[in-house]
Structure 1
Amino acid sequence: MLGALVKTIFGSSNERYVKSLDKIVAQIAAFEPAMEALSDEELAAQTPKFREMLANGSTLDQILPEAYATVREASKRVFGMRHFDVQLIGGMVLHRGEIAEMRTGEGKTLVATAPTYLNALEGKGVHVVTVNDYLARRDAEQMEKLHGFLGLTVGVIVPNLNEWERREAYGADITYGTNNEFGFDYLRDNMKHERSQMVQRPFNFAIVDEVDSILIDEARTPLIISGPTDDKSELYVQVDAVVKQLSPEDYEADEKTKNISLTEDGVERAERMLEAAGLLEGSNLYDVENTQVVHHLDQALKAVMMFKRDTDYIVKDDKVVIIDEFTGRMMDGRRWSNGLHQAVEAKEGVKIEPENQTLASITFQNYFRMYPKLSGMTGTAATEAPEFYDIYKMNVVTIPTNVPVQRVDEEDEFYKNTLDKFAAIAKLIREKNEIGQPVLVGTVSIEKSELLSDFLNKEGVKHSVLNARFHEMEAHIVAQAGSLGAVTIATNMAGRGTDIQLGGNVEFRVEDELRDMPEGPERDAAIAKIKAEVGEQKRLVLEAGGLCVIGTERHESRRIDNQLRGRSGRQGDPGLSKFYLCLEDDLLRIFGPDTLFSRMMNSNLADGEAIGSKWLSKAIETAQKKVEARNYEVRKQVVEYDDVMNDQRKVIYEQRADIMDAEAVDDVVVDMRHDTINALVADACPAGSYPEHWQVDSLKEKVKDILAVDAPIEAWIEEDGLEPEDIEQRITQLADAHMDAKMSQDDPAIWRQVEKSILLDRLDHYWKEHLATLDALRQVVFLRAYAQKQPINEYKQEAFSLFERMLDGIREDVTRIISVSELRMPEPAGLPELPDFLTGHIDPFTGLDNSADGDGSAQMPQLFGNLAGSPEGVAAGAPAGAGTEGNPWADLPISRNAPCPCGSGNKYKHCHGALV
């Protein structure tokens, strides 16, 4: 009661915080007259002036008001747009490393220009992270006009850039790109063999657009770089055939977690079929010899019973293509891990690609926590504020709208079944369509989009369908969703990133309709006509009630529902939103109180009849909160497990960096040799034991094998009565002398290169094997809960022990290779090439892939626009110096593992690169 009174008098803590920024807004406004008086050249000269102030000891906070005033004035001149006061407040929130929650249509892209400019003045680089490649390109191109006007450089990281282009983009003052591109570049950088090969700079400041989508939804699953293993196609096909013969009584499925397991009867039936197929060793499925078969059986069960075509994936061009559950996009080039993708391929009867092994991985949580300052912006973050603070230590600040919201949010309507619900939706859409009111319909799957499309076809309503099958056209379809009478069906509107303007989007209409029209009076007249048409359409749409948003069912997360709703009512426009639900919706069926719902609705509702109730809406919200809490626990668990690996990852990556930066690593190699000798002696001659219990023969054999020296250990013990410490000292002297003699025969510079190469190679090899072991451990450690043990604590202990064993293995292997190998280098060796690998965004527990955009692994680069079809054309468009006989790209900095720019589809090293 008292809290409510205080809030009424003084406002909420969020309101007080936003109000406290008003005085800085006033300071920015005070600079406006002076800024308006500057010429373009003088305004651009502000940038070197600010940089000089920073060099002389000023802080970013001290120059913020004048810097923001500079950006506001530059925006007026470049875009004809003046930052609203609330946009400046949003920019201050971002600069402070917090999350700005701003409604759709409030101009978040423009909001980010002020903090990016201010923080880029330090010269350390600013990253702006977007949810897809289209937005990264679009925002970089648009904002480069502003930042370029003020003298800053802008880069963009998109698929199919070569190493040189990526390095240049990261070297810019401001770099745009997707979360996946940034994360994968970090992992790839830590697989390089020289510092000069790395493309990223040290982390400084990042602004994450659609921060809830990237740091919450996609953070369930880590980024993984993997390489191919042996082909097991036949095994997948055989196990798939077995699984398809099982009946529902043979397994138990949990749709909430997408987990499935065999019952006792199911195990017996599967054993008989596997035995008949010759796949079982002995007669017991769970014998250790059948571990691989059990793994394949589990994945085949999941693929056949739990994964649905046209919902979780589609089959396109004889390939299984994953559908992102949050955005509805196809993810070409992405694959589920742990054999799940191969199991789905076997299920659909398409070509089975080889399985992959993890080479490097990191969670988004641990990647983004490496930035000294991290901020984000979105329209929906308040519901997840505790998680943002818990994981990322970022506060959520709700920024008020520039104009009050006029959208009407109607109560949900409930129906008995899907057909009744869709019939009612189609009827409403037809009614709205007849009065010219544009309608945007959000669905949760491609299947539901196509079902609704059938209903609308029967009603005779013209409409556009936006889903994973047509994602190339999505920005253009979304842009016109506010046109008079437009009806747009969209599979999940989260992260679409294109503003829906009432009456239509002039820019997109000009691009679509006048693409081939040359510049001139005729084009200018056509543009003027389009603007007039859009203006008239906007007037009619406003009269019709603005954009009507319809949700065909509730999403697991309230944020996704709010994102769909937020498409309507931008910048004070009128609008309407309404959700239609039924008993067959996944959320109600899986998470809702089905007994209560079904009793009440089946007994009280006639076919086609609807019910609206605040109590039912509240029950739905409660179900959503349950799911959100469960998903938070899943993400938290991912972080807990990755934190263990993250500590180890830091050690390995720091060690790699030290090796790459060092002129020579001979001191490291010597220490490794001495540590290896210490471990060998301690193992064979334990402290406190009697000499007759020492394993002298084994020690002598290992010293010969690993150090390439003959040590007369028996004689030392018999004649001199040596203790283990003395034995260790003598073996060390022999080994050091052997290496000194060996190295004196060759150029020391060559030995330094060889030692660095061997050290990095063994470090990478053992780290890769360690990751595979941790993957396997993570999948089975939960079984220890049956022994009343905490799985995470068990995982920590085991992982630490495995890490120590890995370090011992690296030391011993490096020592053996350098001691035993003979140096034969007729010519200097080049840098080792990176292995062939795939990139994915994969759940470590289920193998589900959650990558929202492609990284280019399955696409060909167009390095020189339309010229990339012929060597002659590329040579003509290439920089001076290109055009070596037989290979016009010889002088270009193209990675050996990149696709060849000739368009053959082969890697550069297997195509024109082989001619160099």
Structure 2
Amino acid sequence: MVNLGGIARKLFGSANDRRVKSFQANVVAINALEQEMRELSDEALAAKTIEFRKLLADGKQLDDLLVPAFAVVREASQRVLGLRPFDVQLIGGMILHANAIAEMKTGEGKTLVAALPLYLNALLGKGVHVVIVNDYLAQRDSVYMGRLYGFLGLTTGVIVHGLDDDERRAAYACDITYATNNELGFDYLRDNMKHERVQMVQRDHSYALIDEVDSILIDEARTPLIISGPLDDRSDLYLTLDTFVPRLSKDDYEIDEKQRSASFSEDGNEKLENMLREAGLLKGESLYDIENVAIVHHINNALKAHKLFQREKDYIVRNGEVVIIDESTGRMMPGRRYSDGLHQALEAKERVQVQPENQTLSQITFQNYFRMYQKLAGMTGTASTEAEEFGDVYGLDVIEVPTNLPIRRIDEDDEVYRTDKEKYNAIVVEILDAHRREQPILVGTTSIGKSEHLADLMRAKGFNEFQVLNARYHEQEAYIVSQAGVPGAVTIATNMAGRGTDIQLGGNAEMRIEQELADMPAGPERQTREQAIREDVARLKEKALNAGGLYVLATERHESRRIDNQLRGRSGRQGDPGRSKFFLSLQDDLMRIFGSEQMDGMLQRLGLMEGEAIVHPWINKAVERAQKKVEARNFDIRKNVLKYDEVLNDQRKVIFDERVELMESKDLSEFVRELRYDLIDNLVSQHVPSTAYAEQWDVDGLKAEVSQHFDLDLPIHEWVKEEGIAEDDIRFRLEEATEKAAAQKAERFGPDIMNYVERSIVLQTLDGLWREHIVSLDHLRSVIGFRGYAQRDPLQEYKAEAFDLFQAMLNNLRFAVIGQLSRVEIVQEQQPEPELPPMRLDHPSVDLGVDGFASGFIANGPLVAEPERDPDKPSTWGRIGRNQACPCGSGRKYKHCHGSFAQAEPV
């Protein structure tokens, strides 16, 4: 069969080639300006920033300035940093400006590439955010690249852990702000818990450029960022339940490693019931009575902690704390905790102090946070395997940028052994051989335990000339990585994603100078020593090149091809020679979970002897197919999580936007009046409905409710005795009476103090109800899956019920706010701002229309004069009071027409 696709690619190039080629005309234009820029003085070059901003103010678009702006950055970079961006780096910068992901191989200079679109987009003055994977790299890059931006007249800020609000506000006010993804997300959540607009630290979400975009938008996006406050201490319960699991046999539970799930068998349930009964923890007769829901949840966590979570792989115990290990980068994540009691179960298992559980105060996923930006871009060395997810979730295309020099790395076929023992013996032999030939070797492992097991095997052979890089020794990681290219160097590393430091053959001269000459003052002697170090590094580089460049040896495959490619990409940077090979065994997690028994039988029949390996391209393809299965499953999990979270996200946008509007309003009396009238409508409709006769009205109930919520004793019984009295008359009299009472209170205490009290009560009440609402949705989501057994779509059921809960929350807001305002007694002194409970920042383990929700609260938008409103175009109406006439011309109040919840039914 003729491969038409292959022929077309040969004739016309791939789709990626055509995209890259489309940027070539701009590259030619930028190069044409190079001589002109070179002739400018430093002052004239820096003045280009002012010129560009004036052009933008006069109506020019950013795309119109791309060529001259990139030419300015290239020349400034040459003068300030001594680095001139290559043509392929210019292309990478254009991709990042065009809302896409630039896939650039390791060592191709992504940090410098980022400066091009960052400068261009910062000209708008709205602030651009550079998202980095850790604090160290954020600080390093902001200082290093800040020299370039400062030369061009732009300000640079950095957000790291430990800054106070004033420092954060100043950093966000800069033209270019470096920050980690966690700090950005938590700042957004914290901002929406503030009670004054001036206390907020973030401004526009204009443009974000994400470094290591696959790590941040894929790996870390599986779990939300959560701000939580402590609940009651229940450490005794966790410790008691933890003692039950070791008493169970293998027949008492089922473990599914593929799905990372654990459950009890019938025999196990019976044993647990007896244990719980003995401990006095079982309520009722059965473990699955409704009263025991929390106990079931916690005993399941105890089982997971023992059977699914491994010490030294998923977490380590350090200084009496259980610290999570990032599975993608191998880094420790101090301060992060698993949610829903799982972290407490691990603490009980390890017999360290069990910290109290937390209640969610606010949360957001990275998907929904970064989709708030008007413009988003990213760069990484490995994104192609996840291109579908980037497109579906974020609307980002992945474009591969050609390398400046051809790749000379040789990627060898995998070697597959039957057992771990055989595999590790072969790895040790290979490492010792590479060291003897003075070829630098980087050994990649998937966990701390495996890196230390390999280190022990090396020591047993009498070899100690190696470095171990894992979460235990992350403080020295930059220096260890920088020197991993020295001839004969042996570096054992747990994952290599997002390390931020290239492995240079011969070592890194600047890092050596910083390390070796830290205490030597400037002067001729230091200059001599620096020159000697640089000459030594050049000599060592030549030696490493002659030995074949960096050899990357991996001890097993990861679940994701992307992580494997990140490891491979450490070798062969900037056209250097290199080599990579993976050593596998049938006992590896990936091979074992995906059916290695059949392969084991086949290898035995083929007569594979102990210590022998099978090497064939078919093996590579079989492993790759297994990886694709895992990637597809993980993508489906993330998509499903996102579908549910989008329901909460739509509601969160409404609440957070409303909070900002409330904080910015100088006078909340109109808003409070709307709530008061809505409450009166609700009470009148409930107790004196228009469809009932007067003798059927619940006058006693109405009087009691009015007294409870408005603190008024009104002669409602006398009103209803009047001839011809109607529902609207009672409503009007209630509105009049409550309005008079509110006016008297405002007059008594003054408008400023009254407005302060109204704002405080509204925001505190809204925040409290919103926190309860989040918890309600969490509980709803944990059980909604059972609706599938009734042939109903759980997601649609969740959307409908979440909508009802949101309506109920808004209704409760009216009751709570008006009730408090009616009874509040104001002391004539400024009250201190209410303190939030102690908070913890968590990043734990694993559509309703926005307009619909907005109409249930307050229609968003600017105030618009009535003559400018087009009855047929709701987009021209702006913000409308809920008791005003609807602009559509129906004659009904807005809340009973286009502002009603009926206009916002769940999809």
Per the normalisation by structure 1, the TM-score is 0.90
Deviations 1:493-519 (A, max 9, x none): 111111110000011111111111111
Q: What letter matches 2:441 in structure 1?
A: V
Match of 1:364 in 2: 366
Whether 2:642 is the aligned partner of 1:645: answer no
Residues 16 and 670 of structure 1: CA distance in aligned 2, closer, same or farther (over 3 Å): same
Give 1:330 shift: 1.1
Match of 1:850 in 2: none
Match of 1:95 in 2: 97
Whether 2:674 is the aligned partner of 1:671: answer yes
Corresponding residue to 1:120 among 119, 122, 134: 122
Q: Distance in 2 between matches of 1:94 and 1:231?
A: 48
SS of equivalent to 1:497: coil
Corresponding residue to 1:233 among 211, 216, 235: 235
Match of 1:802 in 2: 805
Q: Distance in 1 between matches of 2:549 and 2:556?
A: 22
Give 1:753 shift: 0.6
Give 1:401 shift: 0.5
Whether 2:461 is the aligned partner of 1:484: answer no
Q: What letter matches 1:424 in structure 2?
A: A
The count of aligned residue pairs is 842
Q: Distance in 1 between matches of 2:810 and 2:449?
A: 51
Whether 2:745 is the aligned partner of 1:742: answer yes
Say whether the 8 Å CA contact 2:448–2:471 is kept in structure 1: yes
Q: Distance in 1 between matches of 2:461 and 2:568?
A: 25
Give 1:601 shift: 2.9
Q: What letter matches 1:2 in structure 2?
A: L
Whether 2:88 is the aligned partner of 1:86: answer yes
Give 1:699 shift: 2.5
The unaligned stretches of length 5 or more in structure 1 are 845-916
Q: How does 1:488-567 map to 2 (within 5 A)?
A: 488-567=491-570
Deviations 1:832-851 (A, max 9, x none): 3343211111246xxxxxxx
Q: Distance in 2 between matches of 1:508 and 1:790?
A: 58
Q: What letter matches 1:798 in structure 2?
A: E
Say whether the 8 Å CA contact 1:184–1:223 is kept in structure 2: yes
Q: What letter matches 2:628 in structure 1?
A: K
Match of 1:248 in 2: 250
Q: Distance in 2 between matches of 1:147 and 1:634?
A: 41
Q: Distance in 1 between matches of 2:236 and 2:746?
A: 51
| RMSD value, Cα | 1.3
Match of 1:753 in 2: 756
Match of 2:777 in 1: 774
SS of equivalent to 1:159: coil
Match of 1:279 in 2: 281
Corresponding residue to 1:67 among 62, 66, 69: 69
Give 1:700 shift: 2.0
Give 1:5 shift: 1.9
Q: Distance in 1 between matches of 2:420 and 2:597?
A: 18
Higher relative contact order structure (alpha carbons within 8 Å, sequence separation ≥ 6)? 1
SS of equivalent to 1:839: strand
Whether 2:477 is the aligned partner of 1:474: answer yes
Q: Distance in 2 between matches of 1:778 and 1:808?
A: 22
Whether 2:306 is the aligned partner of 1:308: answer no
Give 1:812 shift: 0.8
Q: Distance in 1 between matches of 2:462 and 2:602?
A: 34
Q: What letter matches 1:767 in structure 2?
A: W
Q: Distance in 2 between matches of 1:448 and 1:506?
A: 31
Match of 2:817 in 1: 814
Give 1:714 shift: 3.1
Match of 2:573 in 1: 570
Q: Distance in 1 between matches of 2:271 and 2:787?
A: 27
Q: Which moved more, 1:373-382 or 1:612-621?
A: 612-621
Q: How does 1:562-711 map to 2 (within 5 A)?
A: 562-590=565-593, 592-603=594-605, 604-711=607-714
Deviations 1:780-824 (A, max 9, x none): 111111111111111111110100000011111000000112212
Match of 1:443 in 2: 445
Q: Distance in 2 between matches of 1:684 and 1:480?
A: 79
Residues 726 and 153 of structure 1: CA distance in aligned 2, closer, same or farther (over 3 Å): same
Match of 1:867 in 2: none
Give 1:687 shift: 4.7
Match of 2:895 in 1: none
Match of 2:48 in 1: 46
Match of 1:9 in 2: 11
Q: Distance in 2 between matches of 1:292 and 1:726?
A: 51
Give 1:216 shift: 1.0
Q: Distance in 2 between matches of 1:208 and 1:101?
A: 12
SS of equivalent to 2:771: helix
Say whether the 8 Å CA contact 1:275–1:283 is kept in structure 2: no
Question: Once the two structures are aligned, what percentage of the paired residues are identical?
Answer: 56
Q: Which moved more, 1:830-839 or 1:569-578?
A: 830-839
Q: Distance in 2 between matches of 1:498 and 1:832?
A: 45
Give 1:161 shift: 0.7
Q: Distance in 2 between matches of 1:715 and 1:412?
A: 92
Q: Distance in 1 between matches of 2:727 and 2:429?
A: 89
Say whether the 8 Å CA contact 1:409–1:576 is kept in structure 2: yes
Q: What letter matches 2:728 in structure 1?
A: E
Match of 2:733 in 1: 730
Match of 2:178 in 1: 176
Give 1:743 shift: 2.3
Q: Distance in 1 between matches of 2:522 and 2:243?
A: 62
Deviations 1:77-107 (A, max 9, x none): 1121111000000000101111111111100
Q: Distance in 2 between matches of 1:310 and 1:723?
A: 74
Match of 2:827 in 1: 824
Match of 1:866 in 2: none
Q: What letter matches 2:600 in structure 1?
A: S
Q: Distance in 2 between matches of 1:560 and 1:581?
A: 16
Q: Distance in 1 between matches of 2:612 and 2:22?
A: 51
Q: Distance in 2 between matches of 1:210 and 1:443?
A: 20
Match of 2:325 in 1: 323
Q: Distance in 1 between matches of 2:698 and 2:169?
A: 55
Say whether the 8 Å CA contact 2:241–2:299 is kept in structure 1: yes
The unaligned stretches of length 5 or more in structure 2 are 847-907
Q: Distance in 2 between matches of 1:31 and 1:742?
A: 70
Say whether the 8 Å CA contact 2:336–2:844 is kept in structure 1: no
Q: Which moved more, 1:399-408 or 1:449-458?
A: 449-458
Give 1:690 shift: 4.2
Say whether the 8 Å CA contact 2:45–2:152 is kept in structure 1: yes
Give 1:218 shift: 0.9
Corresponding residue to 2:433 among 428, 431, 434: 431
Give 1:356 shift: 0.5
Match of 2:790 in 1: 787
Deviations 1:564-588 (A, max 9, x none): 0000000100000000111111111
SS of equivalent to 1:360: strand
Per the normalisation by structure 2, the TM-score is 0.91
Q: What letter matches 1:295 in structure 2?
A: H
Whether 2:415 is the aligned partner of 1:413: answer yes
Say whether the 8 Å CA contact 1:441–1:551 is kept in structure 2: yes
Say whether the 8 Å CA contact 1:408–1:576 is kept in structure 2: yes
Q: Distance in 1 between matches of 2:688 and 2:584?
A: 74
Q: What letter matches 1:219 in structure 2?
A: A
Say whether the 8 Å CA contact 1:192–1:834 is kept in structure 2: no
Q: What letter matches 1:525 in structure 2?
A: T
